[in-house]
Amino acid sequence: MSTFFVNRNRVDVSSDVAPDTPLLWILRDSLKLTGTKYGCGLGLCGACTVLIEGKPARSCQVPLSSIRLGTDVTTIEGLATREARAVQAAWQKLDVPQCGYCQSGQVISAASLLAGNRRPSDADIDRAMAGNICRCATYVRIRAAIKEAAATLG
Amino acid sequence: MHRNRMEVTRRAFLKVVGAAGGGLTLAIGILPAAALAAAANRVAGAGAAAAPAFAPNAFLTIARDSSVTVIVKHVEVGQGTYTGLPTLVADELDAAWSQVRVEGAPADAKLYHNLLWGPMQGTGGSTSLAEAFDQYRAAGAAARAMLVAAAAARWRVPADTIEVRNGIVSHGTKKATFGELAADAAKQPLPASPAVKDPKRFVYIGTHVPRTDSKVKSTGTAIYTQDIHLQGMLTAVVARAPRFGAQVKSIDAAALKGLPGIRFVVEVPHGVAVVGNSFWDAKKGRDALKVTWDDASGFRYSSSDILAEFRRQIAAPGTIARSEGDAAKALAGAARKLDAEFEFPYLAHAAMEPMNCVVRYDGDRAEVWNGEQFQTADQAAIAKVLGIAPEKVAIHQLFGGGSFGRRANPHSDYVVEAATIVKGLAVQGQRGVPVKLVWTREDDMHAGYYRPASLHSMHAGLDAAGSLVAWQHRIVTQSILAGSPFAAMVANGVDPTSVEGAADIGYAIPNLAVDLHSPEIAVPVQWWRSVGHTHTAFAVETFIDEAAQAAGKDPVEFRKALLAHQPRQLAALTLAADKAGWAKPLAPGATGTKRGRGVAVHKSFNTAVAEIAEVTVAADGSFKVDRVVCAVECGLAVNPDIVRAQMEGGIGYGLAAALFGEITIKDGAPVQSNFNDYRVLRINEMPAVEVHIVPSAAKPTGVGEPGVPPIAPAVANAIAMAGGRRLRRLPLTLAA
Ligand code: FES
Ligand code: FES
């Protein structure tokens, strides 16, 4: 059995669940936390980004067997930091999403950027966000909304 | 610290059974279907909407709590239709924007057909707002008139003395909400031809109205097809043919016996579906399944063979798509001649949400959950597979995680695949079991339906004064429409989607010839955001730029002179040049780099867009697009911010194709499989974008696609201006 926490809820995974099952599919298919999206399955697009111990990670690349006892996982459904709220408010103020499918991942990446850097430069934003593909190319607004969120965080 | 405990066990949600079937296990903790469908369809505003007290027409309902639910007949794939159409209703109703909710319409050709497409309901061709503009305004105006009539009767005052503002109906000190009047309004006669507003009285149209879907899409709560979980639902992943046209010869499911969670194996039109309890089960089963393919009729070409076939055809005249004057004669007599050949690859749509579809079939009726773009065509296709009447197929509309044309497949490919699977399950005694078909990213890239590859040959002639007197444009590209249910749109041997943007070229050229070859190649093709304009705009706009250069004229002035009778293009071009500071020299870049500025203007779907790109070319030939100034003439901009968003997105989507997009074919199969070898644009490659809207009171035209065509030629022209080569092959590269 493996035990970890998702959005502060304890999750016990029975030992007969295949150890190679990616965290992404545990979240989506077993826990029905569908805010975390599948986009590529290879760690290339960032749609599946969650926080593991507070750090952004691609959940499609995290097999169950690698999740250590007691690990804290935060998904878009459980994201509640000040930075996250500022990012989500800025996202709505600037109407960032188009189709929206990539945006859970974008929001998580942006919130973790701001958690470590309250005044990100364009280069900082590029570095933190280049792993998150948006096929609707909402990048102009993602950049502006990160700056807007940074301003509201003071 | 923790609030809840959840258990994930194989027993609870997985049961090992053989591939031939077995008893169903129920999934845990999932919403019943009806609640889920309701949650999925109602996307904006607060949760459970009260039952409608007033439903004046098919486009809106008003509940006792005064909420106004607008029923949108188009799919929301990011273009903003879940905001745009409700804006029209809210404006005519004089509702408060906070009252407005949105619901996706069911498939119903009678009520919800696309007014520009005849009897079919569907979204595409940048038509959503353009076709529904009058219809949704009239719907709102009718509801308003009935609310006013109800108030007039209640207060015994003349209707024309009643005011409606921000969701409140009033007469002097008497006030009522929509909810309070709804039941009475429902009893009023339907106005025959409700008067719509004088545009001077618009309260939302033309202003900034926030999107109805930004909140759910910023918080992970928007529901896409991928997110549907129904009671007892299984997931299907399909093993696909190794090359286009190969058929299943035999299936060996022995390897699946030891795998947990595998439930059924079903043959589908282009492969074999493995149906399991979850995605991961089904995918592992699919990967383990052994299928022997009959390759006898399989496609064997590679990209080089396709290009060779295109070259063979381009040598001879094709079917005439447009002919003015005598292009051959004028060319022969021209003082200066230009020739060029352009090559365009296949492109994958690569929407962020790979294709997927949920179907439940109980042997008599079917229910479908899908980000559904071709509602009534897909409904008919599913009904045909299942052998039932189309009315027995109910479609629950969901958000599409992008589409760019892909979810409007002319052959209903992925929905037919999903329907075939549930039909197979029914045959195995599993009626009523919902199945979610999930394409992996690799399936999405391999299973086809690409923007067709093409080859263009062009000749232009200038007279001694530098005027453009002759233009010959020959295109070789697969027809999208031929062989599809839309084949009747091929007119006189010309598929209009192959020549749009070329045959209707806006430049006034006295001698003009455009012709077409439509080779039959087994690579499946379909429309891709802006369709034929994706390649014709590049050929026309880079070649006209060469002509301007050859004539020694400024590229903007040269175009303007030829667009005197094209007010939309002219207005967009003039505004873009003005805002980009075209008259002033471009600021130089760092030492060792060269900078260039390029322009392109193109009309598609009745909207004209001009884009001016600024590019920096490094010494090693690599280049970066720094800034794009865009001007759009789309008639009345109902929601200017969404117009700007569509231009920004169109530029980014077009730039991805310009810089990286290419599906190559090897031995009858696509080579690329995921975002590692099919590169798309990332944030660090996105230029600064400025969008300007030409003020207009004309009826609105589309904005979902027209931002795409000008970007690639603007960038190529900028590279030429920076001293680079004239690039005539996409994707653009300066490397030798
Ligand atoms: S799905 Fe995990 S990075 Fe794309
Ligand atoms: S909003 Fe559509 S992929 Fe990002």
Q: Do B224 and A44 touch (CB under 8 A)?
A: no
For A141, the closest chain B residue by CA position comes to B645
Q: What is the pLDDT of residue B123?
A: 87
Let me know how long chain B is.
Answer: 736
Q: Mark which of B218, B238, B272 sits at the end of a domain.
A: B218
Shared domain check, B152 and B100: yes
pLDDT at B308 over 70: yes
Q: How many domains does chain B have?
A: 3
Greater model confidence, B115 or B198:
B198
Q: Report how far ligand 1's centroid is from the alpha carbon of A76 (Å).
A: 15
Q: Report how far ligand 1's centroid is from the alpha carbon of A149 (Å).
A: 25
Average confidence (pLDDT) over B65-73: 95
Q: Is A101 in the pocket of ligand 1 (CB under 6 A)?
A: no
Shared domain check, B385 and B287: yes
Strand partners, B292: B250
User: Above 0.90 for ipTM, yes or no?
Assistant: yes
User: Strand, coil or helix: what is A153?
Assistant: helix
Q: Report how far ligand 2's centroid is from the alpha carbon of A136 (Å).
A: 4
Among residues B710, B700, B596, B600, the alpha carbon closest in space to that of B653 is found at B710
Task: Name which of A11, A44, A142 is nearest B676 (Cβ-Cβ).
Answer: A44
Q: Do B683 and A130 touch (CB under 8 A)?
A: yes
Shared domain check, B457 and B387: no
pLDDT band at residue B297, thresholds of 50, 70 and 90?
Answer: confident
Q: Give the angle B518-B520-B525 at the CA atoms, nearest 5°.
A: 85
Q: Report how far ligand 2's centroid is from the alpha carbon of B631 (Å).
A: 23
Percentage of chain B exceeding pLDDT 70: 93
> Is residue B669 within 8 Å of residue B246, measured between CB atoms?
no
Tokens of B359: 């179907």
State phi, psi for B83 to the nearest 5 degrees: -110, -45
- Is residue B736 in a domain? no
State phi, psi for A55 to the nearest 5 degrees: -110, 140
Q: Mark which of B158, B184, B218 sits at the end of a domain.
A: B218
Q: What is the pLDDT of residue B126?
A: 82
How far is B465 from B550, CA to CA, in rounded Å?
Answer: 11
Strand partners, B482: none
The type of residue at B158 is P
- Is residue B170 in a domain? yes
Q: Is A47 in the pocket of ligand 1 (CB under 6 A)?
A: yes
> Is residue B231 within 8 Å of residue B30, measured between CB atoms?
yes
As annotated, the residues of chain A forming the CATH 3.10.20.30 domain(s) are 2-78
Average confidence (pLDDT) over A39-66: 98
Provide CB contacts within 8 A for A120, sequence distance 6+.
Answer: A113, A114, A128, A146, A147, A150
How far is B372 from B600, CA to CA, in rounded Å?
Answer: 33
List the residue whose alpha carbon is closest to atom 4 of ligand 2: A134
Which pLDDT tens digit goes with each residue over B659-673? 999 999 999 999 999
- Is residue B728 in a domain? no
Q: Whole-number mean pLDDT of chain A?
A: 96
Provide CB contacts within 8 A for B340, sequence distance 6+.
Answer: B457, B458, B539, B542, B543, B546, B726, B728
Shared domain check, B277 and B209: no
Shared domain check, B574 and B658: yes
- Is residue B526 in a domain? yes
> Is residue B477 within 8 Å of residue B314, measured between CB atoms?
no
- H/E run at residue B138: helix B128-155
pLDDT band at residue B735, thresholds of 50, 70 and 90?
Answer: confident
- Is residue B732 in a domain? no
Per DSSP bridges, beta strands B100-104 and B68-72 are parallel
Q: What is the pLDDT of residue B129?
A: 85
Shared domain check, B607 and B516: yes
- Is residue B266 in a domain? yes
From A27, A29, A36, A60, the mutation candidate for ligand 1 (largest count of ligand atoms within 8 A of CB) is A60
> Is residue B495 within 8 Å of residue B517, measured between CB atoms?
no
pLDDT band at residue B32, thresholds of 50, 70 and 90?
Answer: very low
pLDDT at B43 over 80: no
Alpha-carbon Rg for chain A, nearest whole angstrom, is: 15
pLDDT at B28 over 50: no
Q: Model pTM?
A: 0.94
- H/E run at residue A154: none
Q: Give the angle B502-B462-B334 at the CA atoms, nearest 5°.
A: 110
Q: How far is CA B697 from CA B126, B198, B636, B637, B693, in A?
A: 19, 11, 5, 8, 12
Residues of A in contact with B226 (CB under 8 A): 34, 37-38
For A110, the closest chain B residue by CA position comes to B218
Residues of B in contact with A11 (CB under 8 A): 5-8
Ligand nearest to the CA of B79: 2
**Strand-by-strand arrangement of the B366-370 sheet:** B262-268, B271-276, B234-240, B435-438, B356-361, B366-370, B393-397
List the residue whose alpha carbon is closest to atom 3 of ligand 1: A43
Q: What is the pLDDT of residue B41?
A: 40
Provide CB contacts within 8 A for B106, sequence distance 6+.
Answer: B112, B375, B394, B395, B396, B397
Shared domain check, B682 and B558: yes
b/e sequence B286-317, b meaning 16+ C-beta within 10 Å: bebbebebebeebbebbbeebbebbeebbeee
Q: Do B6 and A11 touch (CB under 8 A)?
A: yes
- Is residue B660 in a domain? yes
Ligand nearest to the CA of A96: 2
Q: Do B404 and A135 touch (CB under 8 A)?
A: yes
> Is residue B44 within 8 Å of residue B71, measured between CB atoms?
no
Q: Which domain holds residue B623?
A: 303-346+451-721
Residues of B in contact with A95 (CB under 8 A): 210-211, 214, 641-642, 645
**CB neighbours of residue B160 within 10 Å:** 7
Q: Where are the beta strands (DSSP E) in B221-289?
A: 234-240, 247-252, 262-268, 271-276
Q: What is the pLDDT of residue B298?
A: 84
Which pLDDT tens digit goes with each residue over B497-514? 999 999 999 999 999 999
Q: Do A6 and B401 touch (CB under 8 A)?
A: no
Ligand nearest to the CA of B401: 2
Q: What is the pLDDT of residue A2?
A: 85
Q: What is the pLDDT of residue B34?
A: 36
Tokens of B705: 């696609």
Q: Is the four-CA dihedral B174, B177, B179, B184 of positive or negative sign?
A: positive
CATH at residue B508: 3.30.365.10
> Is residue B204 within 8 Å of residue B90, measured between CB atoms?
yes
Provide CB contacts within 8 A for B173, sequence distance 6+.
Answer: none
> Is residue B84 within 8 Å of residue B129, measured between CB atoms?
yes
Percentage of chain B exceeding pLDDT 90: 85
Q: What is the pLDDT of residue B586?
A: 96
Greater model confidence, B119 or B557:
B557
Q: Dihedral angle at the C-alpha atoms of B307, B313, B318, B323, nearest 10 degrees?
A: 60
For A24, the closest chain B residue by CA position comes to B280
Shared domain check, B485 and B367: no
For A2-78, CATH number? 3.10.20.30
For B642, the closest chain A residue by CA position comes to A95
User: Strand, coil or helix: what is B485?
Assistant: coil
pLDDT at B5 over 90: no
pLDDT at B25 over 60: no
The type of residue at B490 is V
Alpha-carbon Rg for chain B, nearest whole angstrom, is: 28
Q: What is the pLDDT of residue B527?
A: 97
Residue B364 burial class via C-beta count within 10 angstroms: exposed 0-12, middle 13-18, buried 19 and up: exposed
Q: Mark which of B201, B218, B235 sits at the end of a domain.
A: B218
Q: Is A41 in the pocket of ligand 1 (CB under 6 A)?
A: yes
Q: What is the pLDDT of residue B506?
A: 97
Q: Report how far ligand 2's centroid is from the alpha carbon of B76 (Å).
A: 12
Which pLDDT tens digit goes with each residue over A76-134? 999 999 999 999 999 999 999 999 999 999 999 999 999 999 999 999 999 999 999 99
Pick the CATH number of A82-153 from 1.10.150.120, 3.30.450.20, 3.20.20.450, 1.10.760.10: 1.10.150.120
Q: What is the pLDDT of residue B120?
A: 87
Which pLDDT tens digit goes with each residue over A12-46? 998 888 999 999 999 999 999 999 999 999 999 99
Cα maximum dimension of chain A: 49
Shared domain check, B374 and B341: no
User: Strand, coil or helix: what is A11?
Assistant: strand
Average confidence (pLDDT) over B705-725: 96
Shared domain check, B328 and B206: no
Average confidence (pLDDT) over B188-192: 92
Strand partners, B707: none
Cα maximum dimension of chain B: 86
> Is residue B719 within 8 Å of residue B675, measured between CB atoms?
no
Concatenated DSSP letters for B163-218?
A: EEETTEEEETTEEEEHHHHHHHHHTSPPPSSPPPPPGGG-SSTTS----TTHHHHH
**Strand-by-strand arrangement of the B688-693 sheet:** B594-604, B607-617, B623-633, B688-693
> Is residue B62 within 8 Å of residue B181, measured between CB atoms?
no
Ligand nearest to the CA of A102: 2
Q: What is the pLDDT of residue B37?
A: 39
Q: Please tell me the number of Cα atoms within 13 Å of B151 on its side-chain side.
A: 27
Greater model confidence, B399 or B22:
B399
Shared domain check, B592 and B689: yes
How far is B92 from B87, CA to CA, in rounded Å?
Answer: 9
Tokens of A135: 């096929």
Average confidence (pLDDT) over B55-59: 92
Q: Is the peptide bond before A56 cis (omega within 30 degrees of 0)?
A: no
- Is residue B730 in a domain? no
pLDDT band at residue B6, thresholds of 50, 70 and 90?
Answer: low
Q: Please tell me the number of Cα atoms within 13 Å of B12 on its side-chain side.
A: 16
DSSP state of B354: -
- From its phi and psi, is residue A70 left (phi > 0), alpha (psi between -120 and 50) or beta? left
Q: What is the pLDDT of residue B50?
A: 57
Shared domain check, B457 and B427: no
Q: Whole-number mean pLDDT of chain B?
A: 92
